[in-house]
Amino acid sequence: MPVTFPSYPFYFLRHGVTDHNVRRVVMGQMDVPLNDLGRRQARAAAAMIGGLGIASIASSPLVRARETAEIVAAELGLPVIMVEDLQERDWGEMTGRPYHELIREITPRFAEGAEEFSRRVISAISSLTGAEPALVVAHSGICRVLRRHLAAGDAAGQVPNALPLRFAPLPDGGWREDAVAASCAMSG
């Protein structure tokens, strides 16, 4: 049965920075909290999207995304819906290794395959039933899958921490990705 993707705009927010991001360590489904900068980034992102009319928030249950979503939700006065399938890709034996050792085109032992991960992500986004427009708070891998599936943005490109992105359908059936504002991504 084919998956029907939503035909309305939605927002995406990668979690704030963690110490593992700073050290360039593969996290995958490792549960790593935000650091102080990541919490400041989440508050700045909340302020940026406060006037966008976000009506629902779906989040990965991993603590770095959940914490980011909860900070945003507190500012917007909305609940957070945890969606298991919005977790980052399971990188198997690469989890905890230096990022430069990761080769995305090769599935490490005990890892989730790229096709399986993509199907999981698209199915999760397709099944979101919250009010529109929705905010999805998750991980860089989730955003890369969205970019590939929607042909919006550079699928291999950088996904900055805590920079709100808007995905919007185009009249020709394609999609467009826009950063809400570049000032949200703090260095660190």
State the catalytic residues. Answer: 15, 88
Q: Are 141 and 30 in contact (CB under 8 A)?
A: no
**Rounded Cα gap, residues 36 and 50, in angstroms:** 21
Identity at 43, one-letter amino acid code: R
H helices within the chain, ranges in order? Answer: 19-23, 36-49, 63-76, 114-126, 140-150
**What's the sign of the alpha-carbon dihedral 25, 26, 31, 35?**
positive
Q: How many CB atoms lie within 10 A of CB 11?
A: 21
Task: Supply φ then ψ for residue 114, to 5 degrees.
Answer: -60, -45
Query: In Å, how far are 40, 127, 172 from 13, measured between CA atoms?
Result: 14, 18, 25
Round to whole Å and give the CA distance between 98 and 22: 11
**Could you tell me the two tokens for 186?**
């703090």
